[in-house]
Amino acid sequence: MRAQASDLLSSHQVSQLLNISEKELEKWRSAGHGPEYIRTAPHHRSVKYSLEAVMCYLKEKKNEEQLF
């Protein structure tokens, strides 16, 4: 399912939701961690996150914390 433009969040918005810096979010992407993201044009430099992907990530993290 493709996310609609209105459902896409910027790195800034996601970093605020996760209570981390944008730089930390960038490190997560480089390490293969964090919510799924898409690279947008031009030249695929801009990164966006679907609201659904961020919510799924938060739900997974909450479930992991409940295991401990």
pLDDT of residue 29: 96
Domains of the chain, earliest start first: 5-66 (1.10.10)
Burial 38-61 (b: 16+ CB within 10 A, else e): eeeeeeeeebbbbbebbeebeeee
pLDDT of residue 55: 96
* pLDDT digit string (tens) for the chain, length 68 residues: 455 667 899 999 999 999 999 999 999 999 999 999 999 877 767 899 999 999 999 999 988 887 66
Q: What is the pTM assigned to this prediction?
A: 0.80
